[in-house]
Amino acid sequence: MIEAIFVAKKSRQALQQAHTVQVVVGCGITGDRHFKKAKKKGQNITLIEAEAVDGYNALLGQSIAPQQTRRNIISRGVDLNALVGEEFSIGSAQFRGVELCHPCNVLGRLLENLQVSRSEVIHAFLGSGGLRADVIGSGIIEVGMPIISDPNTPSNVPS
């Protein structure tokens, strides 16, 4: 389920929460700083599990808000890692999971503080930093909608 949606109109701007957004094939979220700026696959939209943020906070004694991860979509109850190479839908919109959002120095810099180092931030989000996806079918998504995996996607089949 979609727990929250965030966009920023400009790079480095604070993310703003939205209840409903439009996504466009190959472009991303209308009004977001990355709209029409994808230079490679997986740059249309990013997702992260709320459970990953909860786990980070519990592990390191922090209280970060989900939007501090700079991901567009916060989900709950969905294994996003399992969607790499898979097609899925949210409302009328269709997506293809491209790759994991591996934690990087930018995330480390944003979340480091006097109690937690940059490397500790990165290490804590290894394997749970989220999912990069492409929009393959335009539509409207909103908070509360489920993420539905397409069981007919022929990916991850041994060759």
pLDDT-flagged residues of the chain (< 70)? 151-159
pLDDT at res. 159: 31
Token pair of 158, please? Answer: 């041994």
For 145, half-sphere exposure in the C-beta direction (CA atoms, 13 angstrom radius) is 20
Query: Tell me, what's the pLDDT at 120?
Result: 95
What structural domains and CATH numbers belong to the chain?
A: 2-10+14-149 (2.40.33.20)
- Residue 133 to residue 88: CA distance in whole angstroms: 10
Using DSSP's 3-state secondary structure scheme, residue 79 falls into: coil
Residue with tokens 């991850």: 156
pLDDT of residue 155: 45
Q: What one-character-per-residue DSSP string does 22-78 give?
A: EEETTTEETTSTTTT--SSTT-SEEEEEHHHHHHHHHHHT----GGGG--SEEESS-
Using one digit for the tens of pLDDT, what is the confidence trace for 60-91? Answer: 999 999 999 999 999 999 999 999 999 999 99
Give the whole-angstrom CA distance, residue 4 versus residue 66.
Answer: 9
What's the pLDDT score for residue 12? Answer: 78
pTM (2 d.p.): 0.89
pLDDT of residue 156: 39
